[in-house]
Amino acid sequence: MFRKFFLFSVVLICVCSVFFGIVFIRSIGISTETYLTDSPFELGKNNHLLEAEWIHKEVLDRPYGIAIDSGGSIYTGTADRRIVRIRTNEKTETFALLGGRPLGLDFDQAGNLFVCVEEVGIVRIDKNGNVRTVISELPDGTPLRFPHGIDVARDGRIFFTVSSLEHSWDNSFLEELSAKPEGMILIAEPDFSKLEILNQELYYPAGIALSRDGRFLLVSEPFRHRISSVPLTGKKRGIEKFFLTNIPGIPTLISGKSAAFWIGIPYYRNEILDRIQEYPEIKNLLSGLPAFFFVQKNPRGLVVSMNDFGDVMANYQDFTGSSISGITAVLEHAGNIFLVSSTSGKIAKMKPVVEEIRFF
């Protein structure tokens, strides 16, 4: 009897230790003052994002992507499964209701809005707000569950990422722990007659953008803290090449609709998560716990601009954390830079900071 009681006590103590250890880890806020990686660009040297101004008053439910139509109206997808349109007079309205969480979005030349929708696929929304699912399966017939970033080329081809074949948006932290190269880049023909897998060995690819000359795609791998290029022509077609590595945060969506690529970095890296990547046993333990116990990311204000050669042309920061943070998408349009803050539930705009455009 005593032996059973002793074993029970040992197991209880171990379980409680793990439980409170995880709670403690979850509560730690890793500050940039104590943990900064060897970044490819300077950090903490500017507060340019303090110049950003909100373009609407209504707080949205965790907006994520961004697209702008020919009339200047701004569109974003929210966690409550809406596509919200923000008119030039700052009025917000529901443009469409979807069957899942909208992520990346982009317009084609005809003014149709294409959206990556979790658990649905790729949907097309016409100018009147009519919704049609145009891609719902992968080439092998399995459901398209987790499309993430999208870019529609001028010729109508659709490039998009699939972040995971196993996990959902809400459980993406499990993808970070598993660290398996199961993400994809796909190309759809304008008439949807053909769907091609360009690369299927990426680590949770998120944002994607086509280069101005159409020779390559830029793709973000948030949990690898890097941006990669993937050629569309030649012998190395579809083969990933690292473009910008050791980013001090988690890069998300990419836009390439202007003279440069713009990348939103909503969170800085977490020291604990970086360190446990070398310990599969700890990662397996964490993956079996509810999301509540998982390490929480710290939202920061950081966006980066790059040219076609991978040079960092600009980085705008709010190092104080007092203005705009959690920026998931950036789009340059009509002389302004528009920023989606998922944590604030709003979209802001600012003028480019000319002095910051330089090579590092």
| 224-244: average pLDDT | 93
* Phi, psi of 236, rounded to the nearest 5 degrees: -100, 20
Q: Does 360 or 149 have the greater pLDDT score?
A: 149
For 76-104, what is each residue's pLDDT tens digit? 999 999 999 999 889 999 999 999 999 99
pLDDT category of residue 75 using cuts at 50, 70 and 90 = very high
For 308-352, what is each residue's pLDDT tens digit? 988 999 999 987 777 899 999 999 999 999 999 999 999 999 999
Q: How far apart are CA 359 and CA 166, in angstroms?
A: 40
Q: Which amino acid is at 287?
A: S
Residues contacting residue 255 through CB under 8 Å, at least 6 positions apart: 66, 209, 261, 262, 329, 330, 331, 332
Q: Which residue has the tokens 């008053």?
A: 57
Question: At residue 286, does pLDDT exceed 70?
Answer: no
Q: What is the pTM of this model?
A: 0.85
Question: At residue 32, does pLDDT exceed 80?
Answer: no
Q: How far apart are CA 239 and CA 227, in angstroms?
A: 13
pLDDT category of residue 40 using cuts at 50, 70 and 90 = confident
pLDDT category of residue 181 using cuts at 50, 70 and 90 = confident
- Reduce the secondary structure of the chain to three states and give it as a string: CHHHHHHHHHHHHHHHHHHHHHHHHHHCCCCCCCCCCCCCCCCCCCCHHHHCEECCCCCCCCCCCCEECCCCCEEEECCCCEEEEECCCCCEEEEEECCCCEEEEEECCCCCEEEEECCCEEEEECCCCCEEEEECECCCCCECCCEEEEEECCCCCEEEEECCCCCCCCCHHHHHHHCCCCEEEEEECCCCCCEEEEEEEECCCCCEEECCCCCEEEEEEHHHCEEEEEECCCCCCCCCEEEECCCCECCCCEECCCCCEEEECCEECCHHHHHHCCCHHHHHHHHCCCHHHCCCCCECEEEEEECCCCCEEEEEEECCCCCCCCEEEEEEECCEEEEEECCCCEEEEECCCHHHCCCC
Which domains does the chain show, CATH number per domain?
32-350 (2.120.10.30)
Kindly state the percentage of the chain with pLDDT values over 70.
76
Q: How far apart are CA 113 and CA 329, in angstroms?
A: 16
For 298-316, what is each residue's pLDDT tens digit? 678 899 999 998 899 999 9
What pLDDT sits at residue 34?
A: 46
